[in-house]
């Protein structure tokens, strides 16, 4: 079985995104993001609000996949539209594998 990669994408919402009403924002997610995720069912996205804790980052997108080719396709598709650059600026991308240190040393993983 392939390892699950978790990619934390640190983002900042732009004025264009914030100018949309909440229903308009959800409509844009349905129009621009859901079809991409539907086309790549092996890539999962979770979305976290962070704006009240950080001045640099307003949101964190947490991607999970064991298929990096699918993840790459999702990224390429989203960056070709208004999601990135118009609605969100990507400030950092942090790829990771959960408990990789424990797997490396064949030790019991730290579970929360």
The total number of structural domains in the chain stands at 1
pLDDT of residue 27: 98
Q: How many Cβ atoms are within 10 Å of 83's Cβ, its own excluded? A: 20
Residue 33 lies in a domain: yes
pLDDT digits (tens, 9 = 90+) for 73-103: 999 999 999 999 999 999 999 999 887 666 6
Residue 36 lies in a domain: yes
Residue 112 lies in a domain: no
pLDDT of residue 99: 75
Residue 110 lies in a domain: no
* Cβ neighbourhood burial of 24 (10 Å; 0-12, 13-18, 19+): exposed
* Residue 97, domain CATH: 3.30.70.1030
Token pair belonging to 28: 């844009």
Residue 94 lies in a domain: yes
Residues 6+ apart with CB under 8 A from 94: 7, 8, 9, 10
pLDDT digits (tens, 9 = 90+) for 39-66: 999 999 999 999 888 889 999 999 999 9
Q: What is the residue range of 18's domain?
A: 5-105
pLDDT digits (tens, 9 = 90+) for 2-28: 789 999 999 999 999 999 999 999 999
Residue 72 lies in a domain: yes
Strand locations in 2-55 (E): 5-13, 43-49
Residue 50 lies in a domain: yes
Residue 111 lies in a domain: no
Query: pTM (2 decimals)?
Result: 0.86
């Amino acid at each position: 079985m392939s390892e699950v990669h978790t990619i934390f994408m640190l983002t900042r919402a732009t004025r264009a995104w914030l100018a949309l009403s909440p229903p308009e924002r959800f409509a844009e997610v349905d129009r621009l993001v859901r079809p991409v995720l539907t086309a790549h069912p092996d890539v999962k996205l979770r979305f976290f609000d962070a704006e009240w804790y950080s001045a640099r980052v307003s949101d964190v997108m947490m991607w999970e996949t064991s298929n990096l080719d699918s993840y790459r396709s999702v990224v390429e598709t989203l960056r070709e539209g208004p999601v990135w650059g118009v609605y969100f600026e990507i400030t950092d991308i942090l790829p990771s594998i959960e408990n990789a240190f424990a797997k490396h040393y064949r030790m019991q993983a730290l579970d929360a």
